[in-house]
Amino acid sequence: MSGFDCACAVANHAAMTLDDDLLAMPAAIAALLQAAKVEQGAPTAPLDAALAELERPPAPRDGAGPARKPACRHLDRIWALAADGPPHISALANALRRLDPRLEWIQNPNYTVENLGVHYIDNYAYSDVMSPRGLLYSDRVALGFLLLGPGLHYPDHAHEAEEIYWVMTPGSRWRRGDEAWQPRDPGSLIHHPPWTRHATRSGGEPLLAFYLWRGALNAPARLVD
C-alpha cells in the first residue's frame, strides 16, 4: 500500500468529511510531483516537502467554502485546453474540474484596481487546494492554481516563498529576473527561488498553472519595479 493509500485509509477511519472528488486532487498532485522528480534540474527539496504533506491524512479545513471571481468564467475554456496536455497535466485538470464547485477562488490583497486596473482584476484569480487557508490544511506548503484570462500581463512581482509553477495550458510566456520572455508549453516546470522577480503573460487563450509554494506561506507577493 502506498503512502497516499495509507493516508486515505487513516482519514476514512477517522470519519473525516472526505469523498472521491476531494481525494482525487491530492492523488493527481502527487503523480505530477513524482513525475517532476525525474526531470533533470528539478528542485527536489520543495517537491519532497509537498509529497510528505500529501502522504499525511487529508485534513479538510473548517470553514472552507466555495467562492467565485469574475475570472472563473474562463474555466470552461480551460477544461478543453488542459484536456489536450500531457497525461499528468490533463489528470490534474480533471481533478480540479471535479473539485472546483467547492473551491474558494481569491485574489492577492496587494493587487487592486488602483494598481492593476479593472481589466486585470476581472481576469485574475487563484485557489489554494492545500495551504493554511486552503480546502485542505497545511502549514508547510501551499498547492493551488493560478487563473489568468486571455491577453493578460501579470507584471513583475516577487515573494519570500520559494515557488514552482507547472504550466497547464498553451500559449503563455514567462520571464524571470532580467531574462528574456520565454514561451512555455503545457507541462513545463518553472522554478522561482525566494525573492526572484518574475512575470507572466497569457496569450490568446486563458492560462491555468499549478503552483507549489514553500516557506513564508502567509506573505503574499508584491509588485516590484
Q: Is the pLDDT of residue 51 over 50?
A: yes
Cα–Cα distance, 47 to 77 (Å, whole number): 29
Q: Is the pLDDT of residue 55 over 70?
A: yes
- The model's pTM is 0.90
> 203 to each of 7, 152, 169, 206, 223, how far by Cα in Å?
39, 7, 10, 7, 21
The string of pLDDT tens digits covering residues 144-198 is 999 999 999 999 999 999 999 999 999 999 999 999 999 999 999 999 999 999 9
**Average pLDDT of the chain to the nearest whole number:** 91
Q: Is the pLDDT of residue 7 over 90?
A: no
Domains of the chain: total: 1
Yes or no: say if 155 and 133 are a contact pair by the CB < 8 Å rule: no
pLDDT at 61: 82
Cα–Cα distance, 98 to 91 (Å, whole number): 11
pLDDT at 11: 38
Grade residue 8 by pLDDT with cuts at 50, 70 and 90: very low
212 forms beta bridges with: 143, 164
Q: Is the pLDDT of residue 9 over 60?
A: no
Grade residue 3 by pLDDT with cuts at 50, 70 and 90: very low
Cα–Cα distance, 143 to 211 (Å, whole number): 6
> 95 to each of 55, 78, 122, 167, how far by Cα in Å?
18, 13, 25, 16
> 56 to each of 26, 32, 78, 140, 149, how far by Cα in Å?
10, 17, 30, 12, 34
pLDDT at 2: 44
Q: Is the pLDDT of residue 17 over 70?
A: no
The fraction of the chain above a pLDDT of 70, given in percent, is 92
In which domain, by residue range, is 17 found? 3-223
Q: Is the pLDDT of residue 65 over 90?
A: no
**25: CATH:** 2.60.120.10
User: In 3-state terms, what secondary structure has residue 163?
Assistant: strand
Grade residue 58 by pLDDT with cuts at 50, 70 and 90: confident
